């Protein structure tokens, strides 16, 4: 009888060791992404959409430099050099992402480490990616508000070679995988290739509306780990304002769009939910406004957020009444 | 290269593959020759459908949408628990159907990402039909695709509204992808990878 607690304790300790091992691999992946020079080909798969890319990364005394080009479909290119800026050659986009947001080998493990309280990490055996043996790590969400991840780390270096985002049914909705990788590239050639690309000094800024400091709307229920990243206001084709609230937990982003209903619609309401691969959209009417919530998260997350959107009058009334929030 | 693999690939491209897509997709990921064939088959398919290289032709979207749904990805690991879904089974089926429309929207968004918040009117894109209903306290899955008839009591105004709504969804998705670029875009890809440089930049 006295052995039962000991066995239980043993099992708990074993579980703890396994979790530590998985986290160790996440840290190893993150470290590898910051310290390894490499070049390789990778593919991105979402549903039936597939794109092929080439990536080159060079580490020197001044930091991490990388170049990514798309080798099929629309031409696309991204270069980030020692200047600390990331930019698209000959392209147009604004708000170049921070360096750690750019390339998947570094972004995903580090973000998962930052969100460790929302995921359970475990080792899931071994595999092979880009003709290299890998260790497989699962990151399963502890709640129903975010998707999970399966990661394949290079056995030797720890570099993340493949990632799959997994929905609540356990299906991979996005995959990102190296098909070839060279971890001992000719550094001189690598440097010439990367630094030959001159970053766009002044990227074209598209019309995306402006940031605003405060919004009369209130979203009262956000899943743990998510926070408000920004609020923007644009106008639609009829010059009506469209407010855009952006929430993120570092891995997934949820957008809330709010715009007044057309007057001609009267009391009729528009509601729907749609899903494709990792992106879900849900729309409803709240206080004569069309509210649309979109994100790479389960429908439960969108529903939680949607149901907590408070119109200005509602929010004021609640505050004035001193009642529940 | 084995003939069987090529046949599988061709079936997948043509949307006639009956089995689990995981096998041929995995083979595709590993085999450069198969990838080349994949690309070639798509080019042939595009050419047969009259899709010139680099052009934005919405007729191609429907095929991609259908393929996207049927090539639903592999089961990696079972859910840790049942999702607390409030949707009845029928709603889930509607959600799947609605996914066709959303996939079209995503495809449109991807190609037209450099366009501004509201796409040009009159584009012949897929439509998410919107079911109008009374006010409820919770959002309900009621979307349909263009391939389905609108509700019997739908009016021209409803159809117009559905088109408006589809355009709005396109615009919302584009804006969402742009604004989430700093966090996670197109499966951890940088935003530049979804920019089509062949398109003119509107509203600079």
Is residue B141 within 8 A of residue B95, CB to CB? The reply is yes
Lookup: tokens for A130:
């880009």
Is residue A270 within 8 A of residue B165, CB to CB? The reply is yes
For A62, which DSSP code? T
Strands in A23-95 per DSSP E: 38-46, 49-60, 63-70, 77-80, 86-87
Residue A211 pLDDT exceeds 60: no
Q: Which residues of A touch B75 (CB under 8 A)?
A: 169-172
Of A190-199, B141-150, B194-203, the least confident = B141-150
Question: Which has the higher per-residue pLDDT, A254 or A206?
Answer: A254
CA distance linking residue A128 with residue A154, whole number of Å? 9
Lookup: tokens for B153:
């009591």
Give the best residue of A238, A274, A306, A311 to mutate against chain B (max B CB count within 10 A).
Answer: A274
List of residues 6+ apart from B189 with CB closer than 8 A: A44, A51, A53, A104, A176
A258: left (phi over 0), alpha (psi -120 to 50) or beta: beta
Across B152-156, average pLDDT: 38
pLDDT reported for residue A157: 95
List of residues 6+ apart from A262 with CB closer than 8 A: none
What is the percent of chain B with per-residue pLDDT over 90, rounded to a whole number?
Answer: 0
pLDDT reported for residue B189: 42
Residue A284 pLDDT exceeds 60: yes
What's chain A's average pLDDT? 76
Q: Which residues of B touch A171 (CB under 8 A)?
A: 72-76
Across A186-209, average pLDDT: 64
CB contact under 8 A, A274 and B187: no
pLDDT in tens, A2-35: 565 665 555 555 544 445 599 999 999 999 988 9
CB contact under 8 A, B188 and A176: yes
Q: Which residues of B touch A255 (CB under 8 A)?
A: 172, 175-176, 179-180
Q: Which residues of A touch B105 (CB under 8 A)?
A: 274, 276
Is residue A307 within 8 A of residue A299, CB to CB? The reply is no
Interface of A with B in 222-261 (CB under 8 A): 229-230, 232, 234, 236-237, 242, 244, 246, 248, 250-253, 255, 257
Q: How are strands ordered across the β-sheet holding A272-276?
A: A210-211, A227-235, A241-248, A253-260, A289-295, A279-286, A272-276
Residue A93 pLDDT exceeds 90: no
Residue among B100, B152, B150 nearest B126 (CA): B100
List of residues 6+ apart from A121 with CB closer than 8 A: A19, A22, A23, A26, A112, A137, A138, A139
Helices (H) and strands (E) in chain A, counts: 6, 20
Residue B29 pLDDT exceeds 80: no
Q: Which residues pair with A193 in a beta bridge?
A: none
pLDDT reported for residue B204: 32
Is residue B26 within 8 A of residue B16, CB to CB? The reply is no
pLDDT class of A223 with cuts at 50, 70, 90: very high
Residue B145 pLDDT exceeds 90: no
Lookup: tokens for A295:
């994100």
Is residue A34 within 8 A of residue A106, CB to CB? The reply is yes
Helices (H) and strands (E) in chain B, counts: 6, 1
Is residue B79 within 8 A of residue A169, CB to CB? The reply is yes
H helices within chain A, ranges in order? 3-35, 99-102, 104-114, 187-195, 299-306, 312-321
For strand A210-211 and strand A253-260, is the pairing parallel, antiparallel, or unpaired?
unpaired
What is the percent of chain A with per-residue pLDDT over 90, rounded to a whole number?
Answer: 29
Across A265-279, average pLDDT: 57
Across B136-148, average pLDDT: 28
Q: Which residues of A touch B141 (CB under 8 A)?
A: 272-273
Residue of chain B nearest A252, judged by CA positions: B184
How many beta carbons lie within 10 A of that of residue B191, not counting itself?
27
ipTM of this model?
0.71
CA distance linking residue A318 with residue A244, whole number of Å? 23
Q: Which residues pair with A269 in a beta bridge?
A: B133
pLDDT reported for residue A45: 79
Answer positive or negative: Cα dihedral of A180, B198, B105, B64.
Answer: negative
- Residue A301 distance to chain B (closest CA, Å): 10
Q: Which residues pair with A231 in a beta bridge?
A: A245
Q: Which residues pair with B193 in a beta bridge?
A: none
How many beta carbons lie within 10 A of that of residue A4, not counting itself?
8
Across A275-302, average pLDDT: 82
Q: Which residues of A touch B72 (CB under 8 A)?
A: 47, 171
pLDDT class of A119 with cuts at 50, 70, 90: very high
Strands in chain B per DSSP E: 132-133
Q: Closest partner residue to A76 among B79, B91, B193, by Cβ?
A: B193
CA distance linking residue A110 with residue A251, whole number of Å? 10
CB contact under 8 A, A95 and B181: yes
Is residue B114 within 8 A of residue B203, CB to CB? The reply is no
Across A262-270, average pLDDT: 50
List of residues 6+ apart from A201 with CB closer than 8 A: none
CA distance linking residue A294 with residue A175, whole number of Å? 20
pLDDT reported for residue B75: 54
Residue of chain A nearest B132, judged by CA positions: A270
Torsion of the alpha carbons at A91, A95, A99 and A101, rounded to the nearest 10: -100
Across A224-238, average pLDDT: 81
Give the best residue of B16, B38, B77, B164 to mutate against chain A (max A CB count within 10 A).
Answer: B77
pLDDT in tens, B87-124: 344 333 333 333 333 333 333 332 222 222 222 222 22
pLDDT reported for residue B8: 73
Is residue A40 within 8 A of residue A178, CB to CB? The reply is yes
CA distance linking residue A139 with residue A137, whole number of Å? 7
């Amino acid at each position: 009888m006295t052995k039962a607690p000991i066995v239980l304790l043993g099992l708990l300790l074993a579980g703890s060791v396994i979790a530590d091992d998985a986290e160790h691999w996440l840290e190893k992946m993150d470290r590898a992404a910051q310290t390894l020079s490499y070049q390789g080909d990778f593919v991105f798969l979402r549903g039936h959409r597939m794109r092929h890319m080439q990536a080159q990364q060079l580490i020197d005394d001044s930091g991490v430099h990388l170049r990514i080009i798309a080798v099929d479909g629309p031409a696309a290119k991204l270069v980030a050099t020692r200047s600390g800026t990331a930019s698209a050659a000959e392209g147009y986009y604004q708000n170049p992402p921070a360096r750690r947001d750019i390339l998947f080998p570094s972004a995903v493990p580090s973000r998962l480490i930052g969100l460790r309280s929302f995921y359970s990490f475990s080792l899931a055996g071994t595999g092979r990616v880009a003709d290299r043996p890998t260790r497989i790590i699962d990151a399963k969400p502890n709640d129903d508000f975010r998707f999970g991840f399966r990661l394949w780390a290079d056995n030797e270096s720890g570099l993340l070679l493949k990632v799959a985002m997994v929905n609540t049914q356990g299906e991979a909705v996005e995959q990102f995988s190296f098909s070839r990788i060279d971890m001992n590239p000719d550094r001189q050639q690598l440097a010439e290739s990367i630094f030959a690309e001159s970053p766009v000094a002044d990227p074209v800024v598209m019309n995306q509306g402006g940031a605003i400091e405060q919004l009369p709307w209130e979203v009262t229920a956000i899943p743990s780990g998510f926070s408000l990243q920004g609020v923007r206001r644009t106008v639609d084709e009829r010059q009506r304002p469209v407010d855009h609230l952006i929430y993120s937990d570092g891995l997934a982003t949820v957008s809330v769009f709010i715009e007044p209903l057309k007057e001609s619609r009267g009391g009729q309401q528009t509601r729907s939910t749609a899903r494709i691969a990792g992106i879900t959209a849900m729309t409803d009417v709240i206080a004569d406004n069309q509210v649309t919530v979109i994100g790479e998260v389960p429908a439960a997350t969108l529903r939680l957020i949607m149901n907590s959107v408070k119109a200005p009058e509602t929010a004021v009334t609640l505050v004035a009444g001193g009642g529940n929030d | 290269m084995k003939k069987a693999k090529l046949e599988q690939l061709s079936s997948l491209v043509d949307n006639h593959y009956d089995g689990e897509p995981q096998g041929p997709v995995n083979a595709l990921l590993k085999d450069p020759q198969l990838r080349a064939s994949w690309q070639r088959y798509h080019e042939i398919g595009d050419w047969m459908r009259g899709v010139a290289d680099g052009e934005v032709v919405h007729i191609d979207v429907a095929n991609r949408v259908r393929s996207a749904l049927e090539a639903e990805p592999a089961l990696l690991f079972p859910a840790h628990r049942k999702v607390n879904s409030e949707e009845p089974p029928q709603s889930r089926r509607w959600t799947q159907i609605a996914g066709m429309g959303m996939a079209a929207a995503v495809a449109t968004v991807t190609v037209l990402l450099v366009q501004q918040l509201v796409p040009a009117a009159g584009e012949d894109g897929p439509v998410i039909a919107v079911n109008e209903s009374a006010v409820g306290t919770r959002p309900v899955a009621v979307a349909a695709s263009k391939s389905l008839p609108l509700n019997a009591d739908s009016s021209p105004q409803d159809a117009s509204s559905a088109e408006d709504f589809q355009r709005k969804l396109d615009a919302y998705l584009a804006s969402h992808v742009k604004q989430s670029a700093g966090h996670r875009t197109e499966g951890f890809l940088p935003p530049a990878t979804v920019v089509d440089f062949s398109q003119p930049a509107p509203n600079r």
